[in-house]
Each structure stands twice: as C-alpha cells, then as structure tokens.
Amino acid sequence: MEILLQQIINGLTTGSVYAVVALGYTMVYGVIQLINFAHGEVVMIGAMVAFSIITALAGSSMPPLIIVLAGVMAAIPACMLMGYLLERVAYRPLRHAPRLAPLITAIGMSIILQHLALMVWGRSPLAFPQIIDNRVFGVGGAAISSVQIAIILLSLTMMAGLSWFVYRTRFGIAIRATAENVHVAGLMGVNADRVIAATFVIGAGLGAVAGVMYGTYYGIAHYTMGFSLGLKAFSAAVLGGIGNIAGAMLGGLLLGLVEALGTGYVGELTDLCTWPMAQGWLAEQCADGGHFVVFGSNYQEVFAFLMLILVLVFRPSGLLGERVSERA
Amino acid sequence: MLAVMELQVHYGGIAAVKGISFAVEENEIVCLIGANGAGKTSTLKALARMIPSHGEIHYGDQRIETLPSHELIAMGLALVPEGRGVFARLTVAENLMMGAYHRNDAKGIGADLERIHALLPRLMERRNQVAGTLSGGEQQMLAIGRALMGRPRLLLLDEPSMGLAPLMVQKVFEVVRKVAAEGVTVLLVEQNARLALEVCSRGYVMESGSITIADTSAALLADARVRTAYLGE
C-alpha cells in the first residue's frame, strides 16, 4: 500500500512535467500539423540556462528561492526567443512544402540544438547546487518532498492558466479557430503567422519551466536530457490525442503514473520465484527467500513507449482525440 | 464599390478564371451564376485574397490584390466561404466572437450581437452549443451571422444554398435580402440561378472561366440562353 501511494506521488510529479512539455507539442501540432521534434531540446536549454544562473548565484547571500526564481526567469525568455527563432528560421520557409520537409527539419534542429548545448555547457552534467532545504513530509506511510509539491502545484497552475488563455481569451479562441481552419480564420482577420509564432513561443515558455522542474527533481541537467523527456512528452500528447490541449494534460499525468507504477511493480511481478511453475527449475536461486527478477526497475523507459504503441494500435486518435463532425 | 479588371486565376497550368472584368456598385445585390466548375468560387477566393491571381481588384479607392487575406475584413470586405466554413469545434457564441475578431469596440460588438439575435433568433438559442452539431441550414445562418459581426460593407456569399433543404434555402435567401436592406452590398455566387436572380438586381453569367452575359436580373430571367442553360426550361 505504501509503495502504491509512493509511486502515485512520484508519478504525479514526473507526469505533471510531461504534461507541461506535451502542451508544447500539441499546441504546435494543432495549428500546423507539425511535430516539433526540437521542442525537447528547447526544454533542455531552459534547464541548462537556469542551472547556469542558479550555480552562479549559489555562492551569494541571496535567499535560495530568489536564486531559483532568477534561474527560471532567465530560462523563460531565452526559450521563448528560441521557440520564436525556430519557427521563423526553420519552419516558416517550409510552411507550404511537402509535410516530410519540415519534419526532417525538426529532427535536424533537434540535433543542432543538442550540439549547440554541448558546445556551450560541455559534456558533463550540471548539478543542481545544494541550496534548497528539500523537506520531506510523510503521508500515509509514503513520502512527498517540498520539491515534488512545488512541481505539482506549479504545473497545475500553468495548465489552468493555459486553459483559461486558450478557452476564455480572444486570442485563445483565435488559436483554436486557426487550428481548425487557417483560411477561414484569416477571413476573420486572424494573422496566421502571428498565431503560429505564438504557439511556439507559449509552448517554449512552458517548456522552460518544465525543464527547470525536471532538472531540479533529478538534481542534474545534461545536454541529452531533452531527447527522452521530449519523446515521452510527445508520447503523452499522442496518448491524450495530439492537437488536443486537455488531452496533453491528461496524457502527461497518465503516462507519469503508468511509468511510476510500472517501475515500482515490474520487479515484483516478474520475480519468477513468486511464480509457482518456475519454482522447480529455479529452486537453487529462490532458496532462502532469493529472487530471480526478469525485468527490474531499469526498464522504466519502456513503459512510455509501450503505452504509445498500445494507443497507436487500439485508439490511434488518442484518449480525447475525437473529431467533431464538420458537417451536419 | 468593387471593380475587377482582367482577373485571372490559374491552378498549376490550368486557367480557372480567364481574365474577367465586372463591377459591383454600393447597395447593390449582384449575382454571379454559372455551372459547377465555371470559376465562380475561384473568383470569390481571389477577391478575398485566399488564392493568388492576376489582374486588378479595386475596392473603394484602394487596390487590394496585393493585400493579405486577414487585412480585408477591417476594410469591410467579408466572405462567407463555400461549404460555410464554421469552426465546428467552437461554440456558436465563439464563432460569432471570431467574426468580430478585428474589432475593439466592445459596445458596438454587443449591439451587433443583439442585431444578429433579432435576425437569427434560432441561432441564439444554441449559442453555447458546439457549431459542428448544428444542422446545415443553421451552420449557413451562423456563417452569415459571423460575417455580419465584422460589420462588412461588402459581403461575398459563396453558394449559400448548397446542400440545404428547399425550405431552408428560402430562409437563407430571406436573410440575405434583409442584410442587403440594411445597406450591405452583396456579391452572391449561386448555382441555383432562379433563386439568385430573384434577389439580385443584376447578374453575370460565367462559363468556363469567362463572363459570357451581363445584364439586369429581369433581362437574364427572360434571356433564352439563360432559360435553357440555367433555369431548366
């Protein structure tokens, strides 16, 4: 029971980060049907920028919270600018090209950004300086740290803020209208270039915060961290129904939970010593309460992609990706 | 108000509109009739700058052929596209709000909402419904109402009767008449020539990319060529 609760807490923490990153994929896809594979790298650069600032300020007498905030505040505009430039330089010239061209470009931009980060920050990971007092609270036998609480609350706030923006403001409605029909939105006076640039910039801004949260949670930031984080967040977006904002949030949280629970239980479930039929020929290994674990918790990375495959096979449109009929 | 000179539209190597010239005066209802594939929709799309074209398009005292599509509504030029083009996943109210996207006068927008409420009462009963769940006729009404929210001076209507039941077609044309009576100039593209000529004062007949006949509606309704080709007599 404690393991279950603990893994739910851990899953909600990583899941809310996946959800925030997934929003960046899904918003861009919703408007221009492009999978911006460089988004994970934007998130990574957010973490790297913030960590550099935080490390530089760590020795000063400033309060730790202010230092972390300074890091985040530097990462957000840096990533927003990067998101804007990505769209302007790499994708806009290919807007009317065959769809494969921007996709390949996205992969290319991902590689370029990764190596740019390698040149700037080097090969070794940046460690999060020990400046915050990460207190741990007990809940029903499980533990939740103040960093986890902060990550979950901040993510939920950002998701609520984005939902309000997209569903309640005039520009948000214009984004959804453009996602549905860019030509008709143009007839209403919506400048499609501006809407498309905005989705990149907003997604990158959210991604910057997500990158800092992810890095803070694991204590390190590295130039390759954007790859697996990005791929998982992309899986989360597909799981929820790519292009669907609520779907990205749901998909992210769900993916985090499945990953945490899978990692938490896979060892126990695949311990052949608990399987009656295997006990005969594993008698030696299982003697005296021994274990013979087939898949250990190092299989963590598998769950996200297993889930992606299952969704693509059984519900390709994603959990919330239902299409409303265009014609009555 | 609108003067088009030598308008040409090409798709790849194929000419859809082959250098047509026509004009619409202030407060007129003018229609462009013709068979499927005659180039009517291409003409409207070119006027709304949704597709590239050659030739001059004078609107008021401005040349608009070099402007991007999204700048036209602020100048008072609105297009209700073929197939209605409502935002199916947005609510009726959000669709109408999009129609007024370029405006900043909250008071005027509120007043126009009231006006459309009076013009299309059925629509306003469904304001919180997602537009994709409306019937075809209701979607057409919404598309027209949405265009009116932009306070157009010239309204381009592309096949408003398409796919609608006869009773609904009557209602849509009634709305078009009312809109025109309020002082909006209308350029109407229709395959349903009889209906179109009944609301329009003048008409142009388009055949494979060219305008072949231009006359008053009364004369067109009496014209032997129009009667056999488009009125089924």
Residue A187: its chain B contacts at CB < 8 A? 48, 50, 69-70, 72-73, 78-79, 81, 85
From the list A248, A187, A200, the residue with the least C-alpha distance to B157 is: A187
Nearest residue of B to residue A178 by CA position? B87
Q: Which of B125, B129, B155 is nearest to B143 (CA)?
A: B155
Q: pLDDT value at position A11?
A: 96
Beta carbons of A187 and B48 less than 8 Å apart? yes
Residue A126 CB-half CA count within 13 A:
30
Query: What is the arithmetic mean of pLDDT over B81-88?
Result: 94
According to the model, what pLDDT value does residue A324 have? 40
**Rounded to an integer, what distance in angstroms lies between the CA atom of residue B105 and that of residue B93?**
17
Question: Per-residue confidence at B130, pLDDT binned at 50, 70, 90?
Answer: very high
State the average pLDDT for chain A: 91
Tokens describing residue A298:
């190092």
Sequence-distant (≥ 6) Cβ neighbours of residue B156 within 8 angstroms: B44, B47, B48, B77, B78, B79, B80, B186, B187, B189
What average pLDDT does the segment A95-100 reach? Answer: 91
Tens-place pLDDT, residues B24-68: 999 999 999 999 889 999 999 999 999 999 999 999 999 999 999
The half-sphere exposure of A230 on its side-chain side, counting CA atoms within 13 A, is 28
Task: Give residue A294's pLDDT.
Answer: 79
Residue written as tokens 């959000």? B94
For residues A31 and A37, give the distance between their C-alpha atoms in angstroms, rounded to a whole number: 15
> Which residue, among A59, A171, A19, A36, has the nearest Cα to A105 in the 3D structure?
A36
Residue A41 CA: distances (Å) to CA of A21, A47, A66, A90, B26:
11, 10, 26, 15, 56
Per-residue confidence (pLDDT) for residue A328, from 0 to 100: 33
Residue B80: per-residue pLDDT: 97
> Across residues A108-129, what is the average pLDDT?
95
Contact A244, A318 (CB under 8 A): yes
Distance between CA atoms of residues B131 and B227, nearest Å:
38
Instruction: Note down the domain range covering B81.
Output: 2-230
Tokens found for residue A73: 């505040």
**CA–CA dist A227, A234 (Å, integer):** 10
Q: What percent of chain B has pLDDT over 90?
A: 89
Q: What is the pLDDT of residue A322?
A: 64
β partners of residue A235: none
pLDDT for residue A327? 36
Q: For chain A, what are the domain ranges?
A: 2-270+301-314
**B185-190 and B154-158 beta bridge pairing:** parallel
Position B99 pLDDT exceeds 80:
yes
Domains: count for chain B: 1
Identify the pLDDT of residue A325: 38
pLDDT, one tens digit per residue, over A267-299 is: 888 887 777 777 677 777 777 777 888 787 778
In the sheet with B185-190, reading across from the earlier edge strand, the strands are B77-80, B154-158, B185-190, B29-34, B202-207, B210-216
Q: How far is B50 from chain A (nearest CA, A)?
A: 7
The question of ipTM being above 0.95 is answered as no
Residues of A within 8 A of B70 (CB-CB) are: 186-192
Cβ pair A180, B132 in contact under 8 A: no
Q: Which residues contact A158 (CB under 8 A, 6 or more apart)?
A: A20, A206, A209
Reported as a single tens digit per residue, the pLDDT across A216-261 is 999 999 999 999 999 999 999 999 999 999 999 999 999 999 999 9
Question: Domain A2-270+301-314, what fold?
Answer: ABC transporter involved in vitamin B12 uptake, BtuC (1.10.3470)
Check whether B214 has a pLDDT greater than 80.
Answer: yes
Residue of B nearest to A175 (CA): B98
Cα separation, A19 vs A232, in Å, equals: 10
- Asked whether the beta carbons of residue A328 and residue B94 sit closer than 8 angstroms, the reply is no
User: In CATH, what number is assigned to the domain containing residue B213?
Assistant: 3.40.50.300
Contacts of A48 (CB under 8 A, 6+ apart): A117, A120, A121, A126, A211, A221, A223
What's the whole-number mean pLDDT along residues B156-167?
93
For the residues B124-152, what does the mean pLDDT come to? 94
d(CA A197, CA A174): 13
**Mean of the per-residue pLDDT values for chain B?**
94
> Greater confidence, B19 or A325?
B19
Q: Kindly report which listed range (A71-75, B153-157, B228-232) carries the lowest average pLDDT score.
A: B228-232
Of A252, A236, A182, A197, nearest to A13 (Cα)?
A: A252
| Residue A251 C-alpha, separation from nearest chain B C-alpha, in angstroms | 21
- Grouping H, G, I as helix, E, B as strand and the rest as coil, residue B33 is strand
Question: Which of these ranges, A167-181, A258-272, B155-169, has the smallest mean pLDDT?
Answer: A258-272
Alpha carbons A250 and B229: distance in angstroms, whole number:
58
